[in-house]
Amino acid sequence: MDYSEKIRKYAETLGFDACGIAAVECIDPAGRFKKWLEQGFHAQMNWLIKTAEIRLDIRRRLPGAQSVVVVARNYYAPRPTVPLHAVRVSRYAWGLDYHYVLRRPLESLAAYIRSLAPETRTFLSIDNGPVLEKFWAARAGVGWIGKNSLVIREGLGSWFFLGCVVTTLPLQPDVPLENRCGECKACMDACPTGAIVEAGVVDARRCISYQTVENRKELDSDIAKHIDPWVFGCDICQEACPWNRDVRKTSERQFHPIPKHANPDPQELLGLTAESFAHEFTNTPISRAGLARIKKNVLKILENRGQSIPLYQEFDGASEKEPLSGSPQ
């Protein structure tokens, strides 16, 4: 018996905005992922190299895997009015950490899949496992991979998180969607650092989002002069995408903006201590960057603006650590 339609309907009851299914097979027959790594486009994200073989063959993580169920959850909310002199945070980080928000419904979906047939096994990931979520999303018909390397779906644009349930249950796969970017290069043209080196390929070393969140070293000087006003992440390529216009607001209230998280005051960020940073940002994506990274980003933005900066900046308790996972999508 094929349970695909039951799984899609159950995913809808859990609040997911889209659900697709792919059969487990070679995920990257053209070797694009390995080439991306060989070119050093992963920057300091060395865990991608360590888990590359598993990412390319998910059966190394779940022996006997036959299907991948991919779900999408809309996180779009309009940006609140930007106060004068404020800095900006990427839209995905305005609310609670999506790992926490999506974990329970994704676990419920995995449990439902296991209940359909005896001895069915599952493995789930919300960009925190060795899974190439974007590749599987495209294979499962959830969307197509745009020129900025993000998955795009009509009605949602690219403003959504992905979750995957890998399972040993054989399911009827969905048909991949046609890539509808056409000749449009809006995202590529909008990127101020030229991080989108070719269609679908992003060099993380030049990406403002990577530099302001994942980078554990000093900001590259050529990139640093372009980060204003982005203190955490960057939405420039998404905001330029025509498919991201007129998308509906998320129904998940935990993704709605927490006061002052979308457009924080730079001086308030500089005044944070380790304790106040933890109080304000624990259980939000912003905590991944760490206080030291956030303050360094603020100081660089103020320098770019020609504004006075403190002669001495206290970084007590703001040690930087490896992030929980990569960025969404």
Q: What is the pLDDT of residues 232-289, one digit of tens each?
A: 999 999 999 999 999 999 999 999 999 899 999 999 999 999 999 999 999 999 999 9
Residue 230 domain flag: yes
Residue 4, both tokens: 């695909």
Question: Is the distance from CB of 98 to CB of 285 less than 8 angstroms?
Answer: yes
Residue 87 domain flag: no
Domain that holds residue 295: 186-304
Encoded amino acid at 181, one letter: C
pLDDT band at 30 (very low <50, low <70, confident <90, very high): confident
Same domain, 135 and 263: no
Give burial (CB, 10 Å; 0-12/13-18/19+) of 306.
Answer: exposed
Residue 36 domain flag: yes
Same domain, 71 and 133: yes
Q: Tell me how far apart the alpha carbons of residues 302 and 312 are, in angstroms, rounded to a whole number.
A: 14
> What does the pLDDT look like over 201-231, one tens digit per residue?
999 999 999 999 999 899 989 999 999 999 9
Same domain, 163 and 191: no
Give the model's pLDDT for residue 238. 98
Closest to 94 (Cα-Cα) out of 187, 231, 210, 227? 231
> What does the pLDDT look like over 241-256, one tens digit per residue?
999 999 999 999 999 9
Same domain, 153 and 230: no
Question: Is the distance from CB of 232 to CB of 211 less than 8 angstroms?
Answer: no
Decide if pLDDT at 116 tops 60: yes
Q: Tell me how far apart the alpha carbons of residues 137 and 222 are, in angstroms, rounded to a whole number.
A: 33
Decide if pLDDT at 326 tops 70: no
Decide if pLDDT at 314 tops 70: no
Question: Is the distance from CB of 327 to CB of 249 less than 8 angstroms?
Answer: no
Number of domains comprising the chain: 2
Average pLDDT over residues 69-73: 98
Q: How many helices (DSSP H) and strands (DSSP E) are in the chain?
A: 13, 10
Question: Is the distance from CB of 233 to CB of 212 less than 8 angstroms?
Answer: yes
Pairing of the two strands 88-89 and 230-232: parallel
Alpha helices (H) along 221-323? 221-224, 236-240, 266-270, 274-281, 291-304
3-state SS, residue 151? strand
Active-site residue, from 17, 127, 228, 235? 127
Same domain, 152 and 59: yes
DSSP bridge pairs for 232: 89
E-state strands within the chain? 18-23, 67-74, 88-89, 122-125, 144-145, 151-152, 160-167, 196-198, 201-202, 230-232
Question: Is 127 marked active-site?
Answer: yes
* Percent over 90 (pLDDT), the chain: 88
For residue 125, CA distances in Å to 166, 197, 228, 246, 249 come to 8, 28, 33, 29, 24
Residue 292 domain flag: yes
Give the model's pLDDT for residue 1. 66
Question: Is the distance from CB of 127 to CB of 71 less than 8 angstroms?
Answer: no
Give the model's pLDDT for residue 310. 62
Residue 75 domain flag: yes
Q: Tell me how far apart the alpha carbons of residues 325 and 146 are, in angstroms, rounded to a whole number.
A: 22
Decide if pLDDT at 188 tops 50: yes
Same domain, 22 and 147: yes
Same domain, 191 and 116: no
4-13 and 98-115 helices cross at what angle (nearest 10)? 140
Lowest average pLDDT, out of 164-178, 283-297, 305-319, goes to: 305-319
3-state SS, residue 74? strand
Residue 228 domain flag: yes
Question: Average model confidence (pLDDT) for the chain?
Answer: 93
Residue 314 domain flag: no
Same domain, 26 and 160: yes
Residue 48 domain flag: yes
